[in-house]
Amino acid sequence: MGNDGGSIPTRRELVREAARAPSTAQVKEAQREQQEHHWTTCPLSHKVLARPIVSDCVGNLYNKDAVLQFLIPGDDGEGISSKPDCEEILCGRVKSLRDVVELHFEIDTERDEHPSERTTVHRHEHREGWICPITAKQLGPNVKSVYLVPCGHVFAEEAIRQLKGDKCLQCNESYTEENVIPILPPKEDDKQHLIARGLKLAEQGLTHSLKKTPGSKKRKKHAADAPVDAPAPSGATETAGLATTSKQASAPNSRSNTSTPTPNTAPASNNGIKNTATAKLTARVLGEESDKKKRRKMMGGNENIDSLFTKEKKDGTKSGDFMTRGFTIPAAARR
């Protein structure tokens, strides 16, 4: 092996070094950069976050107009990512505006009045400064922030933890501890806790904003109407209905001689019958009775039909019927 221009590789050149695990500092730096990106950019439209801003049940931030474009049916979603990409980002958490809460940030007016004093980091965070109204700390990736449901006012987590109140300091609206939502929580435990909260609210028929889910009122309305239609024991109700209608049927001119009851006699409202099934049964019984009386009247006026039956005369004798007519018993047989 020589004079051919080749070389003999050494073991150091053949064996590559194993990938080293990132250090703690590198992990924190990557998380900080990721947090800064989510605090400044809408994941649906990839534009800078600008008011109005909304948040879903896991604390992610979106531009409200991007969410509206996603929710519009049949829209191609101009200005945002494709519908499949948006659905992958949202993971089915946003199906209507009731699934998001509009956030109300306190604006740092002093910082906005002096643009030259903004640092490079602040210039990339958002167009306007957001601060906690209690601690006056700059809200962003370096400060743990939370918002309250349903009002949506944003505070530093430190302020809410120390005050331990049950009413918002901005609007005085009541809230519970489980409705304090962290913004962009970095820990997986916090995310799982928020997901469990969303499932619990769904079982109660509520959305992330504590508004009722679409269709829940309709179901409750049907449930409230069910006891009205359900009578006490069915036999007792039908018996009472039939007794009432029979009394009315015995009165003169209470109903017509047609098979179908007239509106003045059949309706359940006149008979005091609230149950629909009982009212229909009563109308059918009245119709059958009317048909029977009609047939009896027709039979009574027909001579051919009357001749088939035995009738009692005025002198007490009975006329023969079709079984005995034309047959005479011999005199010998009578003895």
The domain of 68 spans 28-203
Within-domain flag for 306: no
Residues 194 and 251 in one domain: no
Q: Is the pLDDT of residue 231 over 60?
A: no
Residues 126 and 239 in one domain: no
pLDDT class of 252 with cuts at 50, 70, 90: very low
Residue type, 72: I
- DSSP letter, residue 48: B
Residues 173 and 248 in one domain: no
Within-domain flag for 319: no
Residues 157 and 239 in one domain: no
Q: Could you tell me which of 299, 305, 297 has the C-alpha nearest to residue 321?
A: 305
Q: Could you tell me which of 196, 213, 210 has the C-alpha nearest to residue 149?
A: 210
Residues 135 and 252 in one domain: no
Q: Determine what percent of the chain is predicted with pLDDT higher than 70.
A: 62
Residues 284 and 166 in one domain: no
**23/8 Cα distance (integer angstroms):** 36
Q: pLDDT value at position 132?
A: 94
pLDDT class of 122 with cuts at 50, 70, 90: very low
Within-domain flag for 121: yes
Residues 240 and 174 in one domain: no
**40/163 Cα distance (integer angstroms):** 29
pLDDT class of 8 with cuts at 50, 70, 90: confident
Within-domain flag for 185: yes
Within-domain flag for 305: no
Q: pLDDT value at position 291?
A: 84
Within-domain flag for 242: yes
Q: What is the mean pLDDT of residues 28-43?
A: 90
Structure tokens belonging to residue 167: 């009413």
Residues 139 and 261 in one domain: no
**301/148 Cα distance (integer angstroms):** 88
Q: pLDDT value at position 243?
A: 47
Residues 266 and 170 in one domain: no
Q: How many structural domains compose the chain?
A: 2
Distance in Å from the first CA to the final CA of the chain: 158
Q: pLDDT value at position 321?
A: 60
Within-domain flag for 304: no
Within-domain flag for 105: yes
Residues 104 and 243 in one domain: no
Residues 154-193 have pLDDT tens digits of 999 999 988 888 899 899 999 999 999 999 998 889 999 9
Residues 64 and 199 in one domain: yes
> In the block, which residue shows the tokens 């409230």?
224
Q: Is the pLDDT of residue 334 over 80?
A: no
- DSSP letter, residue 261: P
Residues 150 and 39 in one domain: yes
